[in-house]
Amino acid sequence: MARNATNFQTTIGDTVRVDGIGVHSGERVTLALHPADPDSGITFLRTGLSDGRDAEISAEWKNVGATDLCTMVGDPRGASVATIEHLMAALRGLGIDNVVVEVDGGEVPVMDGSSEAFVEAIDQVGLVRQAARRRMIKILKPIRVENGSAWAELRPYEGSRYEVTIDFANPVIGRQSIGVDLTPDVFRRQISRARTFGFVSDLEKLLPMGLCRGSSLENSVAIKDDRILNPEGLRWVDEFVRHKLLDAIGDLALSGAPFQGLYRSYKGGHKLNFLTLKALFADPTAWALVEAASRPATPAAELGTAMVAPAFRAEVA
Ligand SMILES: [Zn+2]
């Protein structure tokens, strides 16, 4: 890709809609992606609330309300949108900085359990380069979080790289590793079609809790003992780790800007990814906001421990 193509922020060319069901509620939901202004980031617009209001929820780690089975963002008044990670992965994977995501239910539709439908929708309207320069979060020193044998870390690195390893006792999955330097082309070809997966034994516990009601072989790879139940089989032999990579890209997109750094995880997941962002932003010496041309913009220390939207806007207004 031409150097200047990635130095500027992007949005989508027009509004595009995606219909599907929520994996937990099983209910129909419509998603509309709208073009958005430079420096506005990714914002969820939750409509259809019982109190009649529409809620704007910025797609940022500070608004994350739950990470148990998926990643959910919410506002203090109780509005929320769950299962955002596969859409967030598509937006980050394709290099989209600014979008309003209007959703009329409490979940982003699961589609086929991957990012493919979102990539296809975005391709219908294309990307538009905006006048403002892209900002990136440059990792200045290693950050690491651990939970038992699982860990995740961010390290300084010239590009934007992800290295993910999973290790399941189940023989169908076993130990799998993948490493990529993230570009839109790599995301499309190697990551975007990797589906979510689950064990039938877990599903039997979750269904009585009102979760996974929309789950089916249409939107996840189901594993029972040492067998895959989906008649079509896998899209890659290592589809599982590719999906964990997809999830990590989506979860880390809640930083509010692309990374210049290396993300690594072992047995990672939504919660560990969230804790990684929390640890990063708790240490203002661990990162800096830089313009895509690598010139330092605003040192993190001057922004405090959180990235504040007005601080972004002041620089480019
Ligand atoms: Zn996922």
Q: Would you state the pLDDT for residue 76?
A: 87
Catalytic residue among 24, 86, 243, 270: 270
Alpha carbon of 250 to ligand 1 centroid (Å): 9
HSE-CB of 144 using CA atoms within 13 angstroms: 10
**Residue 3 resides in a domain:** no
Calculate how far, in angstroms, residue 117's C-alpha sits from the geometric centre of ligand 1. Answer: 14
Q: Which two tokens stand for residue 145?
A: 């979080």
Residue 208 CA to ligand 1 centre (angstroms)? 21
Confirm whether 305 is domain-assigned.
Answer: yes
Q: What is the DSSP string of 162-196?
A: EEEEEE-SSTTT-EEEEEEE--HHHIIIIITTPPP
Is residue 176's pLDDT more than 90? yes
pLDDT band at 264 (very low <50, low <70, confident <90, very high): very high
Mean pLDDT of the chain: 89
Taking a C-beta distance cutoff of 8 angstroms, is the pair 12, 127 a contact? yes
Give how many domains the chain has, as a whole number: 1
258 belongs to a structural domain:
yes
Decide if 147 is inside a domain. yes
8 Å CB contact between 160 and 260: yes
Q: What confidence category does residue 5 fall into, taking pLDDT thresholds of 50, 70 and 90?
A: low
Least reliable range by pLDDT among 26-35, 46-55, 150-159, 164-173: 46-55
Residue 66 pLDDT class (50, 70, 90 cuts): confident
Residue 20 lies in a domain: yes
Range of the domain at 42: 10-316
Residue 91's pLDDT band (boundaries 50, 70, 90)? very high
Whether 24 is catalytic is: no
The pLDDT score that the predictor gives to residue 213 is: 79
Give the model's confidence band at 78: pLDDT under 50 very low, under 70 low, under 90 confident, else very high: confident
Residue 198 alpha carbon to ligand 1 centre in Å? 10
- Within a domain: 4: no
Compute the average pLDDT of residues 38-43: 96
* Contacts of the segment 300-305: beta carbons below 8 A, 24+ positions apart: 305/281
Cβ distance 59 to 44 under 8 Å? yes
Residue 115 belongs to domain with CATH number: 3.30.1700.10
Residue 208: the pLDDT is 80
pTM for the whole structure? 0.89
Instruction: Round to whole Å and give the CA distance between 197 and 244.
Output: 10
Question: Could you tell me the distance, in angstroms and rounded to a whole number, from the CA of residue 247 to the centre of ligand 1?
Answer: 5
| 40 Cα–ligand 1 center, Å | 25
Q: Would you say residue 224 lies in a domain?
A: yes
Answer yes or no: is pLDDT of 250 > 80. yes
Contact 98, 253 (CB under 8 A): no
Query: Residue 34 domain-assigned?
Result: yes
